[in-house]
A and B are shown apart, each in its own frame.
Chain A
Amino acid sequence: MAFLSKEASLALVQRVHRLIGIKNGSTPHGAPQPRRQRSAPRPGAEHFDVIVVGAGPAGSAAALVAARAGLKVLLLERGEYPGSKNVSGAAFYGSAILNELIPNWWEQAPVERYLTRRVLAFMTAETSVAIDFRTTRFAEPPYNGFSILRPKFDRWFADQAVAAGAFLLNAAVVDEVLWEDDQVVGVRVRRDEGDLRADVVIACDGANSFLAKNAGLQREFHAHEMSLGVKEVLELDEGAIRERFHLHDNDGLAIEYIGAITEEVSGGGFLYTNRDSLSLGVIGQISSLAEHRRRPYELLETFKRHPSVAPLVRGGRVREYSAHVIPEAGWNMLPKLYTGGMLVAGDAAALCFVAGLYLEGINYAIQSGMAAGEAAVAAHQERDFSARSLARYVERLRARHVLTDFASYRHAPGLVNSPRLQNLYPELIAAGAEQVFRVNGGPKRKLLPIALDTLRRANISPVHVLQDAWQAGRSFGW
């Protein structure tokens, strides 16, 4: 946005308005769809000002904001404790955002390392070419990002919502929302006497978002829109981590791998340094895994055996294996974000920013949770919980740059998952680099003939490359 003129920015915002239907007035992203059988709450159900479903980063942020405003907030978590069902890489790039909510949060939260080094590696089966970025400027408060372990971080974050006055109920699964006319008026927890009433229900129930689907706000997903991540936490001596990854005391590294690391499957790999462990894993588009009949844990093994990865993980002991899905289609799979009495935030709203260079979700979860909390507080001030009143959530999401980011990068997911970008170009970069660096007594060729020769051998027309360059520009450049 910084590179856009004022007019261009305005045009972008207007386009966002058009895409989400603000111009039409009424209820963009929010018209209730009376398709499913709707249950009404049983008489005598307890009442809360706000019920938040799911105590991940979005839910805890929403609960914290609402509880601080003095509202009676219930935060429901289906796991044994917040974070017990949650998996991320996990690199958390929302430090400055969380700092707004909890000043100097890193001094009290369970963080692993602040990330000062980011590597993007293009892989073939034998070769890798990497961009290695490092700055001491990310080692200063409020920091740019941290490696974290979700079961620990999420538990701490939910405790902050509780400290602000929210009630936390663990081991509570919510299967459906409750209705009166076209208004959501509560949730049904799967237990006896499970009906609970609320003026505003905020669904932060994660990537599968059964609640958003139950309320008719989200459709069923396509297998090409979702990716599966499988991950291991590998225990490794703190000193070995510092030496192996060239780190100082508490700074850390995030590596993202693209190319043949997932063989023919669309996806990538990641490796993050924790304090005394590594988090590493592979991500594969579900449709692509199915099409190529590849098992995700076998891809993880291939990844760990890659000649540029194996020396990094040598001697590591598996502490925990895990898996989770990632909503990857961005703008194209956003649900209706609200209806009367209900808002959707975080992964449940598919607010996961996956676009090659970027792999971000927790920051958008917190931002959308904060926006939802603010919208709920404002609705309470006016005692108006209709869809029209809750439409201010969309305004808050735009003000926090969430929807504008997803709108401006809406072409990126399709491009990033295309076969040429997934496998061919990393292959070409690696092959080209090998030709440049190999010394074998022959003539030293110049770069353009090497590039054209590499393209010819790969059987790609330069026209396709120009088309892809245009797509890349449209997705990332302007």
Chain B
Amino acid sequence: MVSIPLEERMRTVRFKVDDRPHIVVNAAVCNNCSVRACVYVCPANLFVPLDDGGILFNYEECFECGTCYIACNQEGAIQWSYPRGGYGVTFREA
């Protein structure tokens, strides 16, 4: 099918998950953020707003594109590095 939901689309991508997160989110900063750019811009929808004002995030299916930390306007909310060598996303067609 040409049009598929994001979850199905994400299943076309291979990830070798590092047990150490390469994204660290400072929840205290996020609680005071009203913009929440990360929630919208992430191409893998890894940032989900919670009812209590926090942000739930998942680093496991990350494309390592960097969009979240570039979009984040809150100093120090997203600490971002690459996963360990050989881990993370492995594109085969892209």
B46 vs chain A, min Cβ distance (A) = 11
User: Residues of A within 8 Å of B, CB-based: how many?
Assistant: 59
Interface residue A304 (Cβ < 8 Å from any Cβ of B): yes
A310 cross-chain contacts in B, Cβ below 8 A = 2
Interface stretch of the complex, out of A290-298, A420-428, A464-472 = A290-298
How many angstroms between the C-alpha atoms of A287 and B40 in the bound complex?
11
Interface stretch of the complex, out of A14-22, A139-147, A318-326 = A318-326
Interface stretch of the complex, out of B23-31, B51-59, B81-89 = B81-89
A314 cross-chain contacts in B, Cβ below 8 A = 2
0/1 string, A32-58, CB within 8 A of B gives 1: 000000000000000000000000000
A234 cross-chain contacts in B, Cβ below 8 A = 2
User: Residues of B within 8 Å of A, CB-based: how many?
Assistant: 39
A288 vs chain B, min Cβ distance (A) = 10
Task: Check if B66 sits within 8 Å of A84, measured CB to CB.
Answer: no
Task: Check if B2 sits within 8 Å of A316, measured CB to CB.
Answer: yes
Cβ-neighbour of A290 out of B3, B71, B84, B88 (below 8 A) = B71
In the complex, which of the residues B1, B64, B94 has the most CB atoms of chain A within 10 Å of its own CB atom? Answer: B94
How many angstroms between the C-alpha atoms of A154 and B16 in the bound complex?
20
Task: Check if B84 sits within 8 Å of A151, measured CB to CB.
Answer: no
A172 cross-chain contacts in B, Cβ below 8 A = 85
0/1 string, A350-378, CB within 8 A of B gives 1: 00000000000000000000000000000
Interface residue A173 (Cβ < 8 Å from any Cβ of B): yes
Interface of chain A: mostly helix, strand, loop or mixed: mixed
How many angstroms between the C-alpha atoms of A242 and B48 in the bound complex?
42
Task: Check if A290 sits within 8 Å of B43, measured CB to CB.
Answer: no
0/1 string, A60-93, CB within 8 A of B gives 1: 0000000000000000001110011111100000
Q: Which residue of B lies closest to A169 (CB)?
A: B85
B71 cross-chain contacts in A, Cβ below 8 A = 223, 286-287, 289-290
Q: Which residue of A lies closest to B73 (CB)?
A: A223
Cβ-neighbour of A150 out of B37, B63, B89, B94 (below 8 A) = B94
B61 vs chain A, min Cβ distance (A) = 11
A429 cross-chain contacts in B, Cβ below 8 A = none
B13 vs chain A, min Cβ distance (A) = 6
Interface set of B (CB-CB < 8 Å, partner A): 1-4, 6, 8-10, 12-13, 16, 35, 37, 40-41, 43-45, 63-67, 70-71, 73, 81-86, 88-94
Please name 16 pairs of A and B residues whose Cβ atoms are closer than 8 Å in the assembled complex, sorted by A: A86-B94, A149-B94, A150-B91, A151-B92, A226-B67, A286-B71, A290-B40, A297-B9, A304-B3, A318-B12, A320-B13, A320-B91, A322-B94, A323-B43, A323-B65, A324-B63
Interface set of A (CB-CB < 8 Å, partner B): 78-80, 83-88, 149-151, 170-173, 175, 189-191, 207-208, 210, 221, 223, 226, 228, 230-234, 277, 286-287, 289-290, 293-297, 301, 304-305, 310, 313-325
